[in-house]
Amino acid sequence: MGLDIRIPIGFMFTIFGVIITIYGIFTNSNTEMYAKSLSININLWMGLLMLVFGGLMLYFAKRKKTK
């Protein structure tokens, strides 16, 4: 079978990671928004984490195809 679940998961996390990272960058100066999260820009950090995870999924899917 040619169905590899890592490809759609990788694309989904990469797209959401880009959106959340951009939102975190644009709302970085809003200190009221991040008061509940101990002044940590959680949107930026979670967006970057999602980008890394999505990139890893796509990398492992491509690596599997080449073997």
* 8 Å CB contact between 13 and 47: no
DSSP-assigned letters across all residues of 6-23: HHHHHHHHHHHHHHHHHH
- What is the pTM (predicted TM-score) of this model? 0.84
* 8 Å CB contact between 47 and 21: yes
Residue with tokens 């040619």: 2
Domain boundaries, the chain: 6-66
On the question of pLDDT at 1 being above 70, the answer is no
The predicted-structure confidence for 8-63, as pLDDT tens digits, reads as follows: 999 999 999 999 999 999 999 888 988 888 999 999 999 999 999 999 999 999 88
- Residues 10, 16, 17, 23: what is their CA dihedral angle, to the nearest 10 degrees? 170
Maximum distance among all Cα pairs of the chain, rounded to whole angstroms: 51
